């Protein structure tokens, strides 16, 4: 699996998990497990970073970091944060333009 395929697959999952969390059908702990599982899987696919990063990859890593950085209450109740993260989700799903304030890098 290439880096871009990994990012594509995990982006779909991340969007699904985050939206399910916001809808109340996914517990925060499951979102946190997804974060750690993704990093563990990434360690397998990280083959020298020869493939250049894309906008989609930068947004993916940014969003993944954000769901781990902010507390559960902030992810749910902070309207500005939620709007920013929802814009990232929309971009990953092909529904929006690139959010210019995303600074995601590979771990």
Instruction: Identify the pLDDT of residue 43.
Output: 87
Sign of CA dihedral 98, 106, 29, 11: positive
Question: Tens of pLDDT along the chain (107 residues)?
Answer: 788 899 999 999 999 999 999 999 999 999 999 999 999 999 887 656 667 788 999 999 999 999 999 999 999 999 999 999 999 999 999 999 999 888 888 88
Q: What is this structure's pTM?
A: 0.91
Q: pLDDT value at position 100?
A: 84
Interatomic CA distance for residues 95 and 24, integer angstroms: 23
Count of beta carbons in the 10 Å neighbourhood of residue 19: 14
pLDDT at position 40: 94
Q: What pLDDT score was predicted for residue 69?
A: 96
String of DSSP letters for 84-95 = HHHHHHHHHTTS
What is the reported pLDDT for 85? 96
């Amino acid at each position: 699996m290439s880096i871009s395929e990994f990012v594509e697959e995990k982006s779909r999952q991340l969007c699904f998990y985050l939206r399910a969390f916001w809808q109340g059908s996914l517990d925060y702990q499951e979102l946190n497990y997804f974060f750690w599982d993704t990093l563990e899987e990434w360690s397998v696919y990280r083959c020298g970073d020869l493939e250049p990063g894309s906008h989609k990859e930068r947004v993916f890593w940014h969003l993944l970091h954000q769901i781990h950085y902010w507390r559960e209450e902030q992810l749910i109740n902070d309207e500005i944060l939620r709007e920013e993260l929802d814009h990232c989700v929309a971009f990953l799903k092909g529904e929006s333009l690139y959010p210019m304030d995303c600074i995601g890098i590979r771990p």
